[in-house]
Amino acid sequence: MRAVQARRPVGLPALLVVCLAPVGWLMACAARSPGARAYPELVRFAGREIEAVGFRGGAPFPADTLERLVRTAASQCRVLGLPICPFGLGRREEYLDLDVLRSDAARLALFFRQAGFFGTQVEPEVREASDGAVAVTFVIRRGEPVIVRSLELHGVEGVLDTARLRRRLPLRPGERFDLRELAASADTILAALYARGHAYAVVLREYTADTVADRVDVELTALPGPQVVIDSIAVIGAEHLGRAAVMRQLEFREGDLLRGNELDASERNLYALDIVQFASVGVVRDTVGAPPDSARATVEVRIVEGPVHVVEASAGFGTVDCLRAGVQWTSRSLGGGARRLSLTASVSKLGIGAPVDFRAGRAVCREFRDEPFRSRVDYRLAAEFTEPGFLGARNQLTLAAFGERQSEPRLFQREVYGARVALARRLGLREAGTLTVGVERGRTLATPAIFCTALLVCRPEDIADVQRFRWRNTAGVVWALDRTDQVLDPRRGYQLGASLTWAADWLGSDASFVRWTGDVSRYWPLGPDRVFAAGLRLGTFFGSASLIPDGDFLPPEDRFFAGGATTVRGFSRNGLGPRVYVTSRIQVDPLTGDTLVSTDDVTFVPTGGTALAIVNLELRTPAPVASDRVRLAWFVDAGALEDGDLSDLRLDRWRVTPGVGVRIRSVVGPIRLDLAYNPYAPRRGPLYFAQADTLIQISPDFAPGRTFLDRFRLHLALGQAF
pLDDT tens digits for range 241-257: 889 889 988 989 999 99
* pLDDT at residue 599, rounded to an integer: 66
- Strands, DSSP E only, in 75-193? 76-77, 91-92, 121-128, 134-141, 147-154
Return the minimum-mean-pLDDT range out of 81-90, 185-194, 558-567, 598-607: 81-90
In the chain, CATH 3.10.20.310 covers 30-141, 147-223, 229-305
Q: Which CATH number fits domain 477-718: 3.40.30.10, 3.30.300.210, 3.40.50.720, 2.40.160.50?
A: 2.40.160.50
pLDDT of 413 higher than 90:
no
- Strand 147-154 to 215-223 pairing: parallel
pLDDT of 234 higher than 60:
yes
Residue-wise pLDDT for 653-672, tens only, equals 899 999 999 999 887 788 99
pLDDT of 30 higher than 50:
no
SS3 195: coil
The arithmetic mean of pLDDT across residues 677-697, rounded, is 80
* pLDDT at residue 285, rounded to an integer: 64
Which one has a higher pLDDT value, 476 or 630? 476
Do residues 381 and 417 make contact, with C-beta atoms less than 8 angstroms apart? no
- Strands, DSSP E only, in 389-411? 395-408
Q: Which of 115-124, 285-294, 526-535 has the highest mean pLDDT?
A: 115-124
- Whole-number Å distance between alpha carbons of 129 and 95: 13
3 confidence band (pLDDT: 50, 70, 90)? very low
* pLDDT at residue 177, rounded to an integer: 95
Residue-wise pLDDT for 571-611, tens only, equals 988 889 888 887 877 776 666 666 666 666 787 778 888 89
Task: Confirm or reject CATH 3.90.1170.10 for domain 30-141, answering yes or no.
Answer: no
The arithmetic mean of pLDDT across residues 50-77, rounded, is 89
CA 307 to chain centroid, in Å, comes to 29
Q: What does each C-alpha distance from 368 to 347, 364, 582 come to in angstroms?
A: 16, 10, 20
Q: Which helix (H) or strand (E) holds 220?
A: strand 215-223
* pLDDT at residue 79, rounded to an integer: 64
- Whole-number Å distance between alpha carbons of 113 and 492: 25
Q: Kindly report the number of other CB atoms within 10 A of residue 220's CB atom.
A: 24
Q: What does each C-alpha distance from 606 to 58, 367, 556, 641 come to in angstroms?
A: 53, 22, 10, 11
pLDDT of 13 higher than 60:
no
pLDDT of 548 higher than 80:
no
- Whole-number Å distance between alpha carbons of 468 and 444: 8
Return the minimum-mean-pLDDT range out of 216-230, 350-364, 535-549, 618-632: 350-364
Fold of 229-305: Ubiquitin-like (UB roll) (3.10.20)
Q: Amino acid identity of 393? A: A
* pLDDT at residue 696, rounded to an integer: 76
The arithmetic mean of pLDDT across residues 646-655, rounded, is 90
Residue-wise pLDDT for 122-140, tens only, equals 999 999 988 889 999 999 9
Interacting residues of 198 by C-beta distance below 8 A, sequence separation 6+: 159, 224, 225, 226, 227, 228
- Looking at residue 153, the DSSP 8-state letter turns out to be E
Residue-wise pLDDT for 127-181, tens only, equals 998 888 999 999 999 999 999 999 999 999 989 999 999 999 999 999 999 999 9
- Whole-number Å distance between alpha carbons of 439 and 417: 8
By C-alpha distance, which of 458, 453, 455, 407 is closest to 554? 455
For the chain, the first-to-last Cα distance in angstroms comes to 97
By C-alpha distance, which of 33, 48, 47, 38 is closest to 102? 38
Do residues 686 and 536 make contact, with C-beta atoms less than 8 angstroms apart? no
Which one has a higher pLDDT value, 110 or 486? 110
Fold of 147-223: Ubiquitin-like (UB roll) (3.10.20)
* pLDDT at residue 546, rounded to an integer: 67
* pLDDT at residue 699, rounded to an integer: 80
The arithmetic mean of pLDDT across residues 54-76, rounded, is 89
- Mean pLDDT over all residues of the chain? 84
> 443-470: buried (b, 16+ CB within 10 Å) or exposed (e) per residue?
ebbbbbbbbbbbbbbbeeebbeebeeeb
By C-alpha distance, which of 337, 147, 312 is closest to 248? 337
In the chain, CATH 2.40.160.50 covers 477-718
Secondary structure (DSSP) of 79-99: BTTBS--GGGTTEE--B--HH
- Whole-number Å distance between alpha carbons of 504 and 650: 30
Secondary structure (DSSP) of 277-298: EEEEEEE-HHHHTS-TT--EEE
- Strand 685-691 to 579-583 pairing: parallel
Residue-wise pLDDT for 346-405, tens only, equals 998 775 655 656 555 555 565 555 555 556 788 999 999 999 888 887 899 999 999 999
629 confidence band (pLDDT: 50, 70, 90)? confident
- Residue 173 forms beta bridges with which residues? none
55 confidence band (pLDDT: 50, 70, 90)? very high
Sheet with 694-702: list strands edge to edge: 602-606, 579-583, 685-691, 694-702
288 confidence band (pLDDT: 50, 70, 90)? very low
Interacting residues of 601 by C-beta distance below 8 A, sequence separation 6+: 583, 584, 585
Torsion from C-alpha of 644, 649, 652, 657, nearest 10 degrees: 120
